[in-house]
Amino acid sequence: MNHTALFRSLLITIVVAIMLSACDSPTPTAAPAQPAPAVTRAATSAATPATGISLVTATAAPALIPTRAVTRSGVAQPEAPQPATTPPTAASPIGQHPLKGIDLKLNLNADGTATLDAPALETGSAARSWRGLWLPETDQGVVVRLNTTVDGVNLLAPVGFQVSPITETWQVAGYIVGSASYSAPEVQSTFGSGQRHPLIAALNNLLTQVPYLNYTNPLQDSDLYSDDVRRAVVRFQETEGLNPTGVADQRTWLELLSPPYANVPTTNAHFIVTENVVNLRSGPGTDYPAIQRAQKDDTLDISSKISGSTPETTWYQLCCFGQDKVWARSDTGRTEGPIETVAELSSDQIPAKPTPAPVTASGGTSYARRGQPLLENLPNNTPEGNPIVYLTFDDGPNAAGPAGGYTEEMLALLKQYNAHATFFNVGKSVSAWPQLVRDVAQSGHYVANHTWDHSALAGLTKEEFVAEAEHTRQAILQAAGDLFSLDKDVRYLRPPYGSTDADTRQYAAELGYAVVLWDIDPQDWRQPGTEEIANHVLSHVFPGSIVLMHDGGGDRTQSVAALEIILRELSAKGYKFYNIFGN
Ligand SMILES: [Zn+2]
């Protein structure tokens, strides 16, 4: 069998690998959307050049997803297929190749086998390897297909991708899914909340196969990256010891494809949350920090317990969120199954009480360890006992729209309700409308960083990351630094599309940023209707929740109208509106 024929046989297998990034908005304010990157598709029946295998061709092919889903801001696409900057050396790709922007190493062996090595993670996952075959492709790069773990366990579906040599590392130029291939920029930078893609349907299928998720594949919109998908991805990542970002990155896909999954203790006793929201703590007591939140009807396995004389003094240890087990007080839920058989922990097995890290540590100690940031000092309630909600607005400032622009309209509404909020600004827009930034800061709102031009952060080099973040920080400080009574710096960063990776999270920490994601995403940028936006927020809000909305990036008429409803309804329920700095 020659390479071409073999490759054709590979193509007809189900092949999945991708990075889906959670997205808060597909288009930034100031950066006009570029034409969609070419979406290429190699049909199984298409003639393959006899000279080689071309998975990701440069020519246009039927787009698989709406243009909306693949537009993004106007920076150079770092992952785009590009000519090798150095010619292939000695025509031999054999050896080990770190992959650009991905914490994986590809080993190509002389016998045609390939392994992909993933390192152990500080979040708890052990080092992993996958095995498969590789084939040379055209005059540079290779095609790799992985089909087992290093222990010989078959993957649920083989993983295919095309890699090309660049100067120091190799980069993934494309992924293969079924009979279609996708360019790396398309799948790495543009998927997320509210977006659609055939691969999200594949992700939904994989999530249903993880027993402990109890995940139901949605009958409709299975190609939509919904809040449910994101929650399931976070829970999977936590349980498997991956970085719980809510972004289905390459490692997450590989782990999803590689059962058996984490060993979940089988006590058969379950804890079913009965409150709307329950803080899950790092130890058995309210003086331990809340490190997770569970919602009504979430069902968790009970791995051990500490029995007190009352429900308020009895705590259950729940399994599993990464290497950290979490605790819930027994009166916040009900149990199911043989609770009497659950092991009782002795006092020396109880975790020591930690000292919470300060939110604004200049060293940047607090960044996301899960779908929402660990901003431990953010209160859920005011000292008077009122619930607090943290409204956040992305992609502005924005002078477009009536009444001085959408940002000004929102400022007027917030003032009317004595509300403070956080505005994650795009640097380009800050430099375009510095007076708007001053107006925001002067009104007691916190101005934070949403990158210079709405770039996805995952895969950026340190230099690129610093340019995106620091350029924006300087622009904000130049526009309104003198007005920052809260803090003389820009401490918070929200990654566009929620897209980060281990490297960029590290860079953020080094630069002193807390990465802020969100709890509630009404997807107002899709303009689903004022009522739908408002109802989503009102039906999901809980004390301490962070709400994601947009004052920039497009027509925000619905967002403004929904904000008025949200402020009115939540005020009537006693909610207070704080900025992310906590006042
Ligand atoms: Zn955004």
Asked, for residue 205, whether it belongs to a domain, the answer is no
pLDDT of residue 312: 80
Residue 206 lies in a domain: no
Q: State percent of the chain over pLDDT 90.
A: 25
**Of 143 and 66, the one with more pLDDT:** 143
User: What's the pLDDT score for residue 230?
Assistant: 85
- pLDDT, mean over the chain: 74
Q: Identify which of 63-67, 368-372, 405-409 has the greatest average pLDDT.
A: 405-409
- Beta-bridged to residue 423, according to DSSP, are 393, 447
- Say which range, 30-34, 99-103, 179-183, has the weakest mean pLDDT: 30-34
Looking at residue 43, its pLDDT comes to 30
Q: Are residues 163 and 277 in the same domain?
A: no
Q: Are residues 181 and 64 in the same domain?
A: yes
Q: What is the maximal distance between C-alpha atoms in the chain?
A: 77
Residue 557: pLDDT over 70: yes
Phi, psi of 389 (to 5 degrees): -125, 145
pLDDT at 259 exceeding the cut of 70: yes
Q: Tell me the C-alpha distance between 82 and 531, whole Å.
A: 45
pLDDT value for 550 = 96
Q: How far apart are CA 224 and CA 191, in angstroms?
A: 9
Q: What are phi and psi of 399, to 5 degrees?
A: -90, 0
More confident: 440 or 277? 440
Q: How far does residue 395's CA lie from ligand 1's centre (Å)? A: 5
For residues 407 and 379, which has the higher predicted lDDT (pLDDT)? 407
Residue 413 falls inside a structural domain = yes
Better pLDDT: 399 or 248: 399
Last residue of a domain, one of 137, 164, 192: 192
User: Is the N-terminal amide bond of 260 cis, ω within 30° of 0?
Assistant: yes
CA–centroid distance, residue 178 to ligand 1 (Å): 31
Considering 40-49, 84-93, 256-265, 399-408, the range whose residues carry the highest mean pLDDT is: 399-408
Over the stretch 60-116, which tens digit does the pLDDT of each residue have? 222 222 222 222 222 223 333 333 334 444 457 888 888 887 888 999 998 889 999
Q: 330: domain range?
A: 270-349
Q: 19 and 247 in contact (C-beta within 8 Å)?
A: yes
**pLDDT of res. 367:** 29
Ligand 1 centroid – CA 176 distance (Å): 28
Q: What is the mean pLDDT of residues 232-258?
A: 84
Position with higher pLDDT, 442 vs 191: 442
Closest CA to 554 of 367, 364, 406, 351: 406
pLDDT band at 344 (very low <50, low <70, confident <90, very high): confident
User: Where residue 52 falls among pLDDT bands split at 50, 70, 90?
Assistant: very low
Phi, psi values for residue 393, rounded to 5°: -130, 125
Q: Is residue 422 helix, strand or coil?
A: strand
Is 550 catalytic? The answer is: yes
User: Quick check: 406 pLDDT over 90?
Assistant: yes
Peptide bond before residue 62 is cis, with ω within 30 degrees of 0: no
Query: Does the structure show a pLDDT above 70 at 567?
Result: yes
Least confident range from 199-208, 347-356, 359-368: namely 359-368
Q: Assess whether 52 and 184 both reside in one domain.
A: yes
The reply to whether 76 falls in a domain is yes
Res. 374 pLDDT band, cuts 50 70 90: very low
Highest mean pLDDT among 1-5, 25-29, 311-315, 331-335: 331-335
State in Å: Cα 382 to ligand 1 middle: 29
450 Cα: distance to centroid of ligand 1 (angstroms): 7
Residue 367 lies in a domain: no
Ligand 1 centre to CA of 29 (Å) is 9
Residues 336 and 410 in one domain: no
Q: Cβ distance 274 to 332 under 8 Å?
A: yes
Distance CA 423, CA 407 (A): 9
Higher pLDDT, 186 or 135: 135
253-267, 323-337, 472-486: the lowest-pLDDT one: 253-267
Q: Return the closest-CA partner of residue 422 out of 457, 462, 375.
A: 375
Question: What's the confidence (pLDDT) of residue 302?
Answer: 87
21 alpha carbon to ligand 1 midpoint, in Å?
Answer: 12
| Banded pLDDT at 178 (limits 50, 70, 90) | low
Do 172 and 41 have their domain in common?
A: yes
Cα–Cα distance, 544 to 187 (Å, whole number) = 33
Distance 177 CA to ligand 1 centre (A): 28
What pLDDT does residue 292 have?
65
List pLDDT tens digits, range 497-532.
888 888 888 888 888 888 888 889 999 988 999 999
Same domain as 415, residue 341:
no
- Regarding whether 176 and 32 lie in a shared domain, the answer is yes
Query: Which tops the pLDDT comparison, 280 or 539?
Result: 539
Comparing 43-47, 163-167, 526-530, the range with the smallest average pLDDT is: 43-47
**Are 153 and 24 contained in the same domain?**
yes
Helix (H) or strand (E) holding 319: strand 315-321
Do 341 and 393 reside in the same domain of the chain? no
Q: Work out how many domains the chain is built from and give that number.
A: 3
Distance in Å, CA 292 to ligand 1 centroid: 25
Distance (Å) from CA 344 to ligand 1 centroid: 47
Residue 569 has a pLDDT of 97
> Is 491 inside any structural domain?
yes
Judge whether residue 4 has pLDDT over 50.
no
Whole-Å CA distances, 494 to 154, 425, 515 = 38, 9, 6
CB neighbours (10 Å) of residue 60? 9
Chain centroid to Cα 311, Å, comes to 36
Residues 6+ away with beta carbon under 8 Å from 452: 426, 427, 428, 467, 468, 469, 471, 472, 475
Of 171, 192, 213, which marks where a domain is finished? 192
291 contact partners, CB below 8 Å, separation of at least 6:
280, 281, 282, 321, 324, 326, 369, 374
| Separation between Cα atoms, residue 57 and residue 255, nearest integer Å | 29
CATH number (domain holding residue 335): 2.30.30.40
Domain stop point among 192, 210, 225 = 192
Q: Which of 249, 298, 301, 394 is catalytic?
A: 394
Over the stretch 282-310, which tens digit does the pLDDT of each residue have?
788 776 766 666 777 888 888 888 888 88
Are the beta carbons of 540 and 569 closer than 8 angstroms? no
The mean pLDDT value for 161-183 works out to 76
**276 C-alpha vs ligand 1 centroid, how far in Å?**
28
CA–CA gap between residue 542 and residue 544 (Å, rounded) = 6
Give me the pLDDT at residue 301, please.
82
Distance, CA of 477 to CA of 94 (rounded, Å): 50
Q: Is residue 231 part of a domain?
A: no
The verdict on 183 and 114 lying in the same domain is yes
101 and 167 inside one domain = yes
Q: Is 58 in the same domain as 185?
A: yes
Asked whether residue 47 carries a pLDDT value surpassing 70, the answer given is no
Q: What pLDDT was estimated at residue 461?
A: 87
Q: Which of 197, 445, 471, 550 is catalytic?
A: 550
For position 475, which CATH number holds?
3.20.20.370
One-letter amino acid of 75:
V
Q: Give the pLDDT of residue 447.
A: 92
Whether the per-residue pLDDT at 261 is higher than 90: the answer is no
CA distance 127 to 118: 6
Residue 198 lies in a domain: no
